[in-house]
Structure 1
Amino acid sequence: MSTGAGLSNHAFAMPRLGGHDQTSKNNTTCQFQMPLHYPRYQKRDYETMPEWKLDCLLKQYGLPVIGDVNQKRKFAMGAFLWPSQYE
């Protein structure tokens, strides 16, 4: 059965990041799951956030954790702040 947009009415699975799954103790596959809440940090929070905390935040949202601390800060602000908050 198809919808008015010409797409079939099937659920689509997100591709696995990096092609890796984690397997739990009972051999069930665990895939990345987007957190329910958006981070509520302000620009000044990102500007002073320690690198380890930036790493944890980016990993939690399935985002790349590469570059130096300033690159990570800039990336996090671009990803999580609205343009009016970024200025």
Structure 2
Amino acid sequence: MNWLTKKGFHNQKTQNQKETSESKKKKKNDDEAAKKMVDFRMPLHYPKYSKEDYLNMEEWRLDLLLIQYGLLDHVNGTLHYKRNFAMGAFLWPHQF
């Protein structure tokens, strides 16, 4: 009978270790997500550029605008692609 209680205790201990390692992984993922959220700051004002402004905007200025709104990570491409993305994100359909 002693072996039965030891085996049951061992299984309980193994189960608790698994739960602990899973909770550590979840906490690590939550911490990483929270860190990313802390880095993002939503500007108070919507950009007020016209279509012509976007078409004439230098790439570095466009990159800063996209960084400010947390969108540069979603845009990988040429200057033409970045301009089209910014116009689609910030202009109303009747302005495009």
TM-score of the superposition, structure 1-length normalised? 0.64
CA RMSD of aligned residues (A): 2.4
Structure 2 spans left out of the alignment, 5+ residues: 1-29
Structure 1 spans left out of the alignment, 5+ residues: 1-15, 23-28
Matched, 1:76 2:76: no
CA contact (8 A) 1:55 1:65 kept: no
Instruction: Give the secondary-structure state (helix, strand or coil) at the position aligned to 2:94.
Output: helix
Matched, 1:66 2:76: yes
What displacement does 1:75 show? 0.1
CA contact (8 A) 2:75 2:85 kept: no
TM-score of the superposition, structure 2-length normalised? 0.59
Name the structure with the higher helix share. Answer: 2
RCO higher in 1 or 2 (8 Å CA, sep ≥ 6)? 2
How do 1:15-34 residues align onto structure 2 when only pairs under 5 Å count?
A: 19=33, 21=35, 30-34=38-42
What displacement does 1:30 show? 3.6
Of all paired residues, the percent bearing the same amino acid is: 56
CA contact (8 A) 1:43 1:81 kept: yes
Structure number with greater Rg is: 2
The ranges of structure 1 where at least 4 consecutive aligned residues each deviate by more than 2 angstroms after the TM superposition are 18-22
Q: CA deviation digits over 1:30-68, x for unaligned, max 9?
A: 431100000000000000000001100001000034210
